[in-house]
Amino acid sequence: MDIAPVTRSAVSDSVFAHLVDEILSGRAAVDDALPSERELALAFAVNRHAIREALKRLQQARLVRISHGGKTRVQDWQQTAGLDVLSALAATGAVPALQIARDIMVMRRSVGADAARLCARNASDEQLTTIADAAAAYPAQHTDESIAADLTFWTAIVDGSGNLAYRLALNTLVAAFADIGFGSIADLGTSAELADRDAHITLAEHLVARDADAAHRVADDLLGRVVEILSAQQ
């Protein structure tokens, strides 16, 4: 492992980020034992408390496991990790950003379309009004504000679906987008979606009318545009 001393500011974060990069990149192979806390503290030139905190976070992310005898061993993150690792994957470059973006958008389409269907059935009248207002306020032209407006619109739909897992997944996807760079996401082909104010308004109308099937159809089409563009680029 290539380890160098880190600065004293946010040392635990720095150690954690470095070890995540080692694991996700494959430089620390599955079932490899990490160096001991003492060895890591010496290599990073930090105290053992910072190392212990970083290792605890790695274990919580299911990137490592504590084996018999106290060894900390690398796990196969593709088998054990959760969605929260998406942000780390984007930040480390362990997986190409285009692939991460495509996979995120595929999941976003599936979750968003189903959330729209559930929203039509489950949302309160007040939540539907919020969605209609968000659609009405959507920019007529694709601008720098379109991403924020789109996020507001879809957040309202996911909230209206009443599905907590979808809401938490949305938080994870937004964090991954932020790490990839919202500007980069827009450059990858989301303009076909972000510029379509009419589709946002039509979707809101179907939701207000509580037409679940129509809402699902429009949402799937709207969110699927960028999927097609990203798939064609690979």
How do residues 124-136 score in pLDDT, each as one tens digit? 999 999 999 999 9
Task: Report residue 100 as tokens.
Answer: 């991460």
Q: How many residues are recorded in the chain?
A: 234
DSSP 104-172: HHHHHHHHHHHHHHHHHHH--HHHHHHHHHHHHTS-SS--TTHHHHHHHHHHHHHHHHT-HHHHHHHHH
* Confidence at residue 9, expressed as pLDDT on a 0 to 100 scale: 46
Residue-wise over 34-51: b if at least 16 C-beta within 10 A, else e? beebeebbebbebeeebb
Q: Are strands 64-66 and 72-74 parallel, antiparallel or unpaired?
A: antiparallel
pLDDT digits (tens, 9 = 90+) for 2-61: 666 655 447 888 899 899 989 988 899 999 999 999 999 999 999 999 999 999 999 999
Instruction: Give pTM, 2 decimals.
Output: 0.77
**pLDDT range class, residue 82, cuts 50, 70, 90:** confident
Q: What is the C-alpha end-to-end distance of the chain, expressed in Å?
A: 32
